[in-house]
Amino acid sequence: MITLSALLLNLAGAALVYLASAQQNLLKNPLRVTARLAGWVLIIAGTICWLIVAGTGAGISAALTTLMLAWVILPYLAWWRSPDATETDTP
């Protein structure tokens, strides 16, 4: 159960940090700075959960892998949702 909590905390934190970035394309306007701060708090909480469940080395590795996975998937999700992604240039 704590593993699922760690996973969800890290994913939610990564999403908040991404959505608060000026470079994000999922929302019309980025979230405020407080959302970014809340995202980092969730990431720290998720990392602590990973450390409790898996130990130091594996916990850090699991936390970083979860964050990297989320930060790679979110821009692709934004690209997939954009109207330009479905257009083709064939006549």
The string of pLDDT tens digits covering residues 1-23 is 999 999 999 999 999 999 999 88
pLDDT of residue 80: 87
Sign of the Cα torsion 68, 72, 75, 80 reads negative
Low-confidence ranges of the chain (pLDDT < 50): none
Q: Which two tokens stand for residue 30?
A: 């980025």
CB atoms within 10 A of CB 56: 9
Sign of the Cα torsion 67, 71, 74, 76 reads negative
Neighbouring residues of 70: CB distance < 8 A, sequence distance ≥ 6: 10, 11, 14, 15, 18
Q: Which two tokens stand for residue 38?
A: 């809340």
